[in-house]
Amino acid sequence: MTSALLARRFVSDHLRNPVNLFVLVAVPVAFVLVAAGPLAEAGETLGTGGVSIDSITAGWAAGFIAGVGMYFQVSAARFSDRRLVIAGLPRATLVTGRLVSGGVLAALASGSALAALAIRTGLDQPSTVVVGTALFAVIYLAVGAMVGSVVANPVNGTMLLLFVWILDVFFGPAMTGADTAALRVLPTHFVTLWTMGADPGHGGPDPLTWALVWAVGALVVAYAAVLRTSALRRQRPPRPSTAAAQLTAGLRMAFRAWRRTPVLWVLLAAVPVVFVWLADAVTPSGSSPVRLREGGVEIVAILDPAHMHAGTMAPIAIGSLAALAGVFIGVEGRGADQRLVLAGQRRSVVLATRVGAALTAAALAVVASLAVTVPLFEAHQWLPYAIGNALIAATFALIGVIVGPLVGRLSGALIAFLIPFLDLAIGQSPMLQDGPPDWARFVPGYGASRVVFDGALTETFDEGGALLLALGWIVALLVVASLLIRVERAAKPASA
């Protein structure tokens, strides 16, 4: 069958880079093993009635992997797919092959996530958890295909998927309960309710029926969207690239290219705004212990989650967006940078251009975050709070700049999601535990996060050591980025 043959070829092409296969397995395993416990505790803190969240962490991981994998399947292959159509391949056969190949990758990610969940907590209701995880993967497979069919630029597409996924996870029924009617439009609202066995809190069909309607409807819309993408149309020739030997010209080229990614700029501004505002709106009052340093002495303060959630959500959004922006700047600029170096541009200028573009994108996220945080959250010390957020932005932008050229777009996007999520959202967040666990003291976000929380929640600045640690991480990452460009300088330039 032609569609089956195409699916095999598409999967083989996707896995040609061995890092992609590793990431498809490693990301869901790491997410379930590390994130499940803290997220379950956060759900109880935020008032979900003690419903277990462990059962849906595999679905969250599989859904994100399926969505991003399917996005790259569709967006990166639109021109090659049209050539196949020109050669006589029926469009319906082509689209079926694409969706089946995405399903194979989603199944691999789902299997890895379920295996990790079985190791961590066991599968109390295996059939429910397996079916629920599969539905998560199918729905996000369709979402990824839809985004890939309309958003060609990988920066825009991946940012948009991350935005939808974080909204779905952190503001869905697992974290906020099922009573907020406006949030029922989230893609996996009903899958989450059914998998956890939670009361939907509203009438009508049961959650499984609605979940199946969501899955089937999303696949139908995705099929139509990808079918439209593979239609033949006249293509405009690409714009010619330019080269320059000075930093100002290099930055001008970078920003000229980034002007063609308007969704990125909108999301860099909108994601922190939405997350900070929603965190403030949905978090109930209560009491949570938080380890802080005040007057040089470590204390355990009892604070209201409703007071601090908005202020602690901002650095998570900033770090994630900065890492993703850094990945795509590193990947997309690599070939041009290699040719500029061969033409005589200094390595220091190449580094400054690449890092400067990433830091500018991260700075927009910081400015938008602080702008919306001011009216919603009263930081005790605004200057340390702002400096800590800026340090987080710089740290994770540099991580993205390093990771992107090493592993490519797809694996880089997934790693850029995983690192800040595990570091900032799980390891450092005071919403999940009273203080960072031992392992979280050795990751890039620790020092900057301590500066953020000291500025947000205490009256005096006592985290000078953490500030120096954060600056040390930035210097070390700059050194690694410089060495990476040195290696690229010795390598053959990428083809145009």
Query: What confidence tens digit (pLDDT) does each residue in 466-490 have?
Result: 999 999 999 999 889 888 877 765 5
- Percent of the chain past pLDDT 90, that is, above it, reads 12
Range with the lowest mean pLDDT among 102-106, 120-124, 260-264, 360-364?
Answer: 260-264
CA atoms within 13 A on the CB side of 194: 24
Handedness of CA 179, 182, 187, 190 (dihedral sign): positive
Question: Do the Cβ atoms of 423 and 476 come closer than 8 Å?
Answer: no
pLDDT of residue 148: 86
pLDDT of residue 239: 47
Question: Mean pLDDT highest for which of 8-22, 168-182, 190-204, 389-403?
Answer: 389-403
CA angle, 202 then 204 then 208, to 5°: 95
Q: In terms of residues, how long is the chain?
A: 496
pLDDT of residue 467: 94
H-assigned helices in 121-206: 126-150, 154-170, 173-176, 189-196
Q: Of 323, 345, 328, 284, nearest to 420 (Cα)?
A: 323
Q: Enumerate residues 6+ apart whose C-beta is below 8 A from 127.
A: none
Mean pLDDT score, 184-208: 78
Backbone torsion region of residue 408, taken as left when φ is above 0, otherwise alpha when ψ lies between -120 and 50, otherwise beta: left
pLDDT of residue 345: 58
- Cα 49 from Cα 357, distance rounded (Å): 45
Query: What confidence tens digit (pLDDT) does each residue in 337-350 have?
Result: 555 555 555 667 76
Per-residue confidence at 13, pLDDT binned at 50, 70, 90?
low
Domain ranges (residues) in the chain: 2-229, 247-490
User: Residue 115, Cβ neighbours under 10 Å: how many?
Assistant: 16
pLDDT of residue 496: 34
pLDDT of residue 454: 92
- Cα 135 from Cα 132, distance rounded (Å): 5
pLDDT of residue 322: 87
* Strand, coil or helix: 338: helix
Q: Which two tokens stand for residue 66?
A: 């399926």
Q: Of 293, 332, 340, nearest to 155 (Cα)?
A: 332
pLDDT of residue 495: 39
pLDDT of residue 264: 62
CA angle, 216 then 219 then 222, to 5°: 150
Per-residue confidence at 139, pLDDT binned at 50, 70, 90?
very high
Give phi and psi for 324, each to the nearest 5.
Answer: -65, -45
- Cα 423 from Cα 445, distance rounded (Å): 6
DSSP state string for 360-399: HHHHHHHHHHHHHHHHH---S-HHHHHHHHHHHHHHHHHH
pLDDT of residue 119: 84
H-assigned helices in 76-125: 78-86, 91-120
Amino acid at 417: F
State the average pLDDT for the chain.
78
Question: Mean pLDDT highest for which of 123-127, 198-202, 433-437, 461-465?
Answer: 461-465
Count of helix runs (H) and strand runs (E) in the chain: 19, 2
Query: What confidence tens digit (pLDDT) does each residue in 266-324 have?
Result: 666 677 777 777 777 777 788 888 888 888 888 888 888 878 888 888 888 888 888 88
Q: Which two tokens stand for residue 127?
A: 């059939």
pLDDT of residue 255: 58
| DSSP-assigned beta bridge partners for residue 297 | 294
CA 424 to mean position of chain CA atoms: 12
Q: CA 340, 343, 349, 354: dihedral to nearest 10 degrees?
A: 10
Mean pLDDT score, 417-430: 87
